[in-house]
Chain A
Amino acid sequence: MTLTIATSLDEVLSAMANGARPIAGGTDLVVGARQGKVTLPADLVAIDRVTELATVATNDGTIRIGAGVTHADLLTNDIVVRQLTSIADAAALVGSPATRNVGTIGGNVMNGSPAMDTGAPLMVLGANAALTTPSGTREVALADLWTGPGQTSANADELCTALVLPQPPQSSGSAYVRLEYRRAMEIAVVGAAAAVTLDGDSISSVKVALTAVAPTIIEVDGLNSLVGSPANDKAFEAIAEAARQQARPISDLRASERYRRHTIGVMARRAAHAASVRASGQTIEVPVNRAFGIGENPENIR
């Protein structure tokens, strides 16, 4: 067993070329190993000290979120909170302060859980994962990255260096909402993210993605028909209906299939509602889950 504590990207990539697995916060990897879900890889390379992975930067219409950015940083980062608000909504819900202080967005994405919280926001915001080896970097759409529960299409020697997103247009907003039984240390029973762009009062684009209702995060199809319609309860209900239709939930000890199918509609509706409110220039504090209180309280919108 070896543990390489890398301080540069090159070190990480060469360790990985030699078969090491990256470990960022370890909040999935180590916890999973201790629970006996997976065995800890023989060779690990710690990437949490690689500062080049831990920045958020804008450049020429794109935003790059370094894979090593922690949830705690995401939820206070100005670019994320202002422009990619749904990611901040999601990061704010992850685990507890301790989890958020070490857990990273790269780890969240590459762990590939269908219950990951940053996944649906990243998807509706059109993120690609930048996967790097010593010979170069390729960008993969998230829909192609996640292939099943805990599975990605990345090769073992590919490091996710960043999540790369187009800068959202004017008059757009996004939101992530999660069903939670308690207010900390929770895991998504279902969740939904929405990104909405408005043209006046009507929708000029809408995307919705769903958490924990299929083997991977999925994007809701067929919402283009809403383009041009007003962003109102009727549109949100149509989104909820599409989410219920397209969800493929299972029954497990957290919830039944029936309850998940119902609540995914509620989450999709709320996410779309909150995203539209934000797109219209009003503020809903991060995270929407807390700002709405419980239920969907419009008094908390200003």
Chain B
Amino acid sequence: MNNHDVISTDVLIVGGGPSGLATAIELANKLEQKGVKKRIMLLEKGASIGSHILSGAVIRPKVFKDLLTTKEYDGIPFDSKVTTDVTVKLNDHSQMELPFHPPYMSNDGNYIASLAQVCKYLAGIAESKGVEIYTGFAVDDMLYNEEGKVAGVKTKDTGVDHHGEKQKNYQAGTVVEADITVLAEGTRGSLAKKVIERFNLDSGKNPQIYSLGVKEIWSVPEGNIEAGAVYHTFGYPLKDKSEFGGGFIYGLSDNRVALGLVVGLDYADPRFDTHAAMQIWKTHPYVSKFLEGGNIIEFGAKTLPEGGWNSIPKYYEDNLMIVGDSAGFLTTARLKGVHLAVRSGICAARTAMSAFEKGDTGKKTLAEYEERVNKSFIHKEMYPIRNMRAVMQDGMLLGGLKMGVQLVTGGTCLFVPKVHADADETQKLSEYQGVPFKERFSGKLEFDKKLTFDKVTDVFYSKAMHDEHQPVHLVVNHPDEFQLSNIEKYGLSEEAFCPAEVYELHIDKEGHKSLRLHAENCVHCKTCDIKSPNGGITWTTPYGGDGPEYNYM
């Protein structure tokens, strides 16, 4: 690659979420203990650490004790300790509280937190240990050596216009050569996707499947909710069997509420709209009572990998490890990934240390990463419920029953339905037999801009921003096929599923349909990369620093 500045480092970490930061901290600690000097660089596309981080989040804190010293641990800016923990089934207008917790859903000893804030804190610790963190840099390519092995990454070229022409302010991206590259990009990592494909890392595995979470933070009058209160809902407005998911409502300090709806992306209705479903969910009296008299302060959306153990690809190669959501470490039943992200980072860091000691960063040594994971609680938590998401396709009740069987039998289950990639589950307009989303909720799709919001208004509260002078970062892979199939046959399901109104179906006077893209709205949730029929859309990283500007998500 000519004209690119080249820098080199021993370890390069892509992504400043919990997994990447844990890798950095643990490795810095280990290097310090052994008196070895190595350079650790971490690159994050968000303008700052936390800008692109969104989670629930109820966090299991224990793993942080393994990562941090007591003093460091005590400084973690958790928001509140969980005090109340309630799960309710919502019906159309009434609700029923479950007297017990579904297995794996108890939150004793856990904390509610803003993961963005926790990550900011972890970044400070990492920097104090000598880790070099650079924010506002999007990594958009992998680097391979002559043998075809991973050799580092390249940051995105900037100063290129819509049509790909170099402008006067063109700046070639920087090539970063690294002995070990750790991908910690979070859900549906775009580099992870490339290496998984290149090295066939997912062969023999289930396809990864995802959920989309749409979240808001509100400021509410005193007394609406207590800090530390945790409510989970299932049922309304989702349809049992065909739509998997539920809502969460967490009481934060300073009379704030974090709430959201998480929906499995394996639904069939091409018109299903998770953002709209979340708005409708908020109008249920059980939910709206928490928000009364309040106002929204932040909005965001993000997907999470829910395929479970059987969807985890091989997560190492020569000079490469994949950690956190990018590898699919998430306990589906609990909707929890932070502690697994951190644990996988610790495992990867220890493996890197071992590789440096042996002087070998090849896959033979890095295979230790897998051994460490298998010995850790990641395996312990994920393996027994490895079929959970698959059986949940039978609906919450029957699925729940099968889950119970799994728990007893250690995960074996006789009737495990086959898992398909989410995009393949979407049906064409003509095939879909159910009542279309818009009809199901007709009359409920007018948003009052007080309790409920249209997408554009919500996007305003994500502070998403993208420089217009750059190639559109949402790539339509095969424009002709997209027109014929995605638009004509699926009615542009992207318009429905994108929570940020990036995709618009335009119909002119003659009835001609076309796609209009508003890339500047994108909140980097990655749904389109996952759910677009025929793999119609590839999400690529826009310029570093662009995108949402989350604060307390």
Real binding pair: no
